[in-house]
């Protein structure tokens, strides 16, 4: 690796460190969301139901942005492949792209469910 590649990777790692902090916030919001959901089911509290739904929309909106960041990185990795790269590297980058794409799609699906499911019929457990 040359200095430009190392600097690029270090910058990427700093961004990923920030994403880990975001995940910690997501965990906190998920605990809070579960407490509102529990309160709704025990006491039939409509305010708690709305807070639960709104928190899930916030959670999945944030996650979709994070997933899109990783998808963008995977696309860039695909674009940066060259003929001299090993077959193993090419295959793994391709698999990484497929995984990032599928996770992004699942994020959009869960966000859609969070918006549409006003009666809390579906458990959203991919936080």
* 100 close to 71: Cβ distance less than 8 angstroms: yes
**DSSP SS3 for 108:** helix
* 59 close to 81: Cβ distance less than 8 angstroms: no
Give, in degrees to the nearest 5, the angle at Cα 112 between 122 and 16. 105
pLDDT for residue 33:
95
**CA nearest to 66, candidates 15, 117, 123:** 15
pLDDT digits (tens, 9 = 90+) for 29-67: 999 999 999 999 999 999 999 999 999 999 999 999 999
pLDDT digits (tens, 9 = 90+) for 63-115: 999 999 999 999 999 999 999 999 999 999 999 999 999 999 999 999 999 99
User: Looking at the whole model, is its pTM more than 0.85?
Assistant: yes
Q: How many CB atoms lie within 10 A of CB 67?
A: 20
């Amino acid at each position: 690796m040359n200095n430009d590649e190392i600097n690029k990777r270090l910058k990427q790692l700093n961004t990923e460190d920030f994403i880990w902090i975001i995940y910690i916030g997501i965990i906190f919001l998920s605990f809070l969301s579960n407490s509102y959901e529990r309160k709704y089911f025990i006491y039939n509290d409509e305010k708690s139901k709305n807070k639960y739904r709104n928190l899930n929309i916030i959670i999945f909106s944030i996650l979709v942005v994070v997933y899109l960041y990783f998808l963008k990185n995977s696309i860039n990795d695909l674009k940066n492949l060259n003929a001299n790269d090993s077959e193993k590297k090419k295959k793994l980058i391709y698999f990484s792209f497929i995984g990032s794409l599928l996770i992004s799609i699942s994020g959009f699906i869960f966000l859609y469910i969070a918006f549409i499911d006003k009666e809390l019929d579906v458990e959203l457990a991919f936080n």
